[in-house]
Amino acid sequence: MHAVVHALSIAGSMTWQIAWALILGFALSAVVQAVVRRSTIVRLLGDDRPRTLALATAFGTASSSCSYAAVALARALFRRGASFTAAMVFEIASTNLVIELGVILALLMGWQFTLAEFTGGPVMIVVLAVAFRLFLREKLVREARQQADRGLAGSMEGHAAMDMSVQGSGSFARRLLSRDGYTAVANVFVMEWAAILRDLVIGLLAAGAIAAWVPDSFWRAFFFAGHPLAAKLWGPIIGPAVAILSFVCSVGNVPLAVVLWKGGISFGGVVAFIFADLIILPILNIYRKYYGAKMAAFILATFYATMVIAGYVIELVFGGLGLIPERATAKIPDQGVAWDYTTWLNIGFGLLAAALVVRFLRTGGLPMLRMMNGDPDGGHEGHDHAAHGTGGHDHTAHGTGGHNHHQHGAHGGHTHHGQSPAEA
């Protein structure tokens, strides 16, 4: 019982320390998603030129941090006309370059890890783009598109199909500061929390249990902590492998990264571990459903290789610049709740979260939660109900919902995936 309480106290302390950062990150992400329309993203991601991939990175950084939702959204973009490379870059950026991840890394591990994450992410994207250009064959992309168009369900399908941006006209500021803008931000904020909550809880509980029950001596031996050169070579290779088997993705694997770093994994190994949230076993199975077994194997091989390379680059660059922090300074939070700046931040951002949740509930958001894991095709013909006047309507026009229900699938209508990006 003492061991269980110890594990739960560590998980609880981590939760308390990062709560305000998560609220801040999701709120900022919600603001961006509220004014950037999905159709705009699709229209700009039709090829794999450097400028296009830079835009995919920017859009991903402002998007969801839930790995399952990011994977589902990447397929939706691919089906609607985005290039496969751009869709994969969007997917990487939307889980590894998001604001909340950077803030949590800084709080739990130090600013050096945040800098490493936001340096290694672009490195990984560049390496992946080169690998796709050299090794990805058009035949494999065609087969993947045919499989994607079958619409097999993975996870977070309904969430990925939702476009919760403000649909009216006007500048970004005008749309954001409107009543509908407030509703859109609330919708995105709550849905993002709902998407990430399971993985976050699993990650915190797993980190608490491992920190409390697994001795540091095991990790030091496993990561060759007593042999500096071997540790630096082994870390970026074993980091993604640990992530694949951990079943924890997105920001949920940061608490476990704290434990691994304290246990002796190399600096580059930590970065590679965090990047590997997109190749955990459940997501690999989703790739198989989405794109076929061959493309799933190709994604695994190229993603793994780029994660390892990015880990080595970070190890060399940060080591050469003297930016790798002392491992002795790493401390797993276990002090519980204290009356300090964290408490005030949690209170302030907690009030913000409460206001957004109330807005979400008052504007009819609950049906969207029930649609999160639904079939985006809904078993209906692919057409826009609002356009044909068959039952769907835009609540934004009436000021009662702040979102377009045919976008969310609340009435079963949606834009057909066979349409051109402009039509979508």
Predicted confidence (pLDDT) per residue in 249-259, tens digit: 777 788 888 88
Q: What is the DSSP letter of 404?
A: B
In the structure encoding, which two tokens stand for residue 324, read together? 């790798």
Contacts of 322 (CB under 8 A, 6+ apart): none
Could you give the percent of the chain with pLDDT greater than 90?
36
How many whole angstroms separate alpha carbon 191 and alpha carbon 26?
10
For residue 404, list its beta bridge partners. Answer: 394
Question: What angle do helix axes 111-135 and 50-61 make, rounded to 10 degrees?
Answer: 140
Helix, strand, or coil (residue 230): helix
Contact by Cβ (8 Å): 125, 92? yes
How many whole angstroms separate alpha carbon 146 and alpha carbon 335?
53
pLDDT tens digits for range 143-170: 999 999 987 877 766 666 666 667 666 6
How many whole angstroms separate alpha carbon 252 and alpha carbon 77?
25
pLDDT tens digits for range 48-98: 999 999 999 998 887 766 788 888 888 988 988 899 999 999 999 988 998
How confident is the model at residue 83, as a pLDDT?
94
pLDDT tens digits for range 94-135: 889 988 888 888 888 889 999 999 999 999 999 999 999 999
For the purposes of burial, counting CB atoms within 10 Å of the CB of 328, is it exposed (0-12), middle (13-18) or buried (19 or more)?
exposed
Comparing CA positions, the residue from 57, 137, 38, 147 lying closest to residue 95 is 57
Comparing CA positions, the residue from 63, 77, 69 lying closest to residue 32 is 63
Helix, strand, or coil (residue 334): coil
Query: Model confidence at 312, in pLDDT bands (50, 70, 90)?
Result: very high
How confident is the model at residue 364, as a pLDDT?
84
pLDDT tens digits for range 379-410: 433 333 333 333 333 333 333 344 444 334 33
In the structure encoding, which two tokens stand for residue 13, read together? 């302390």
How confident is the model at residue 136, as a pLDDT?
95
Contacts of 51 (CB under 8 A, 6+ apart): none
Mean pLDDT for the chain overall: 80
Q: What is the DSSP letter of 328?
A: G
Torsion of CA 246, 250, 255, 258, to 10 degrees: 90
Higher pLDDT, 196 or 304: 304
Helix, strand, or coil (residue 394): strand
